[in-house]
Amino acid sequence: MSGKRSLIRSGTTVDQMVRAIGDRIVTGVLRPGEKLDEASLATRFEVSRTPVREALGQLSAMGLVERRPNRGAIVAVVTQEHLASMFESMAELEGICARFCAERMTGGERRALEVEHQASARLVRLGAEEDYEYFNTEFHTRLYRGAHSTHIYELTVMTRSRLAPFRRAQFRLSGRLAKSWQEHDAIVTAILRGDGASAGIAAKNHVSIVSEASAVFAAVDPASPKAGLAELPS
C-alpha cells in the first residue's frame, strides 16, 4: 500500500477514521440503521480493515454505532423511548450547564456570550437558518464551556453528538428561529443576572422545546434497511 494519508491528516489513522465515520453519522450522511461494512469503509478511506475495525469499536463505545457480534455494525438506531431519554438527559445537562454558567462564568465569558447572542438577532431577522444553526451550536458550546466543569462538558458534548442525527432540520419549522432566540435570551439574561436557578430552568425548557420539534423527524426517520413494512400512507 502506498500510504497517502496526507489528506485527512492529524492523529493516527484510527483517530481519523473515528472522526470521519463519526462525522458522517452525526451529520446524517450515514443514517441510523445503515450497515457499516468494514471492507467498504476500508477501501472508501484507503486504509486496511484494522483501523476501521478499531474505529467502529470506539464509536460503539461512544454509542454512535451498534455492533452485533459476527454480524457487522450499523449506525446506532435508537428506540423512541431511548431517544426521549436522551433528550430528557440533554435538557437536564444543559440546565446544569446554564446554572453553572450563571455562577461561574468570568466577566469576559459573560460579555462574549452577550455580544454573540445579540449579534445573532440579525440572523433571525434575515431568516438565515443555515447561519443561525451554526451560531446556535456555538452558543450552546459556549454554555457547556462556561460551566467550567470538564466532565459535564464531556457528557454534554457526547450526548449532543448522539442526538445530532435526530435534530437536523429543527430550524426548518417556521417560527422556530425567533422562538429559539427568545429562549436564548431568557437564558442569557438569567446568566448575566447571576441567577443560576432561572438560567437552569430556562435552558432546560429550551431543550425540551427543541426535543418536541425534533421528535417529529425522528418518527419518520427509521432508515432500517429491511423493516420495509408498509411505510407509505395509502
Binding residues vs a second copy (CB under 8 A)? 11-12, 14-15, 50, 53-54, 57-63, 69-70, 81-82, 85-86, 88-89, 92, 96, 149-152, 154-155, 159
C-alpha grid cell, residue 213:
420539534
Q: How far apart are CA 66 and CA 7, in angstroms?
A: 28
**What is the C-alpha R_g of the chain?**
20
Choices 10-18, 85-93, 116-124, 139-147 (CB under 7 A): range interacting with DNA: 10-18
Among 6, 7, 10, 71, the residue binding DNA under the rule CB under 7 A is 71
> What's the longest Cα–Cα distance across the chain?
60
Whether 167 contacts 91, CB under 8 Å: no
Pick one of a second copy, DNA, none as the site partner of residue 63 (Cβ within 5 to 8 A by kind).
Answer: a second copy
Q: What angle do CA 115, 169, 34 make, to 5 degrees?
A: 130
Residue among 60 and 189 whose Cβ is closer to DNA: 60
Kindly state the smallest distance separating residue 32's Cβ from DNA, in Å: 17
Instruction: Note whether 180 binds DNA by CB under 7 A.
Output: no
Pick one of a second copy, DNA, none as the site partner of residue 89 (Cβ within 5 to 8 A by kind).
Answer: a second copy
Among 19, 24, 31, 49, the residue binding DNA under the rule CB under 7 A is 49
Burial category of 157 from C-beta neighbours within 10 Å (exposed 0-12, middle 13-18, buried 19 and up): middle
Kindly state the smallest distance separating residue 2's Cβ from DNA, in Å: 9
Choices 22-30, 34-42, 75-83, 102-110 (CB under 7 A): range interacting with DNA: 34-42
Pick one of DNA, a second copy, none as the site partner of residue 9 (Cβ within 5 to 8 A by kind).
Answer: none
Residue partners of 15: CB distance under 8 A and separation at least 6:
none
Q: How far apart are CA 124 and CA 126, in angstroms?
A: 5
User: Which DSSP symbol is given to 64?
Assistant: S
Choices 43-51, 101-109, 173-181, 196-204 (CB under 7 A): range interacting with DNA: 43-51
- Phi first, then psi, for residue 74 (nearest 5°) are -130, 160
Residue partners of 143: CB distance under 8 A and separation at least 6:
94, 97, 98, 101, 113, 187, 203
- The residue ranges that bind DNA (CB under 7 A) are 1, 3, 12-14, 36-39, 47-51, 53-54, 67, 69-73
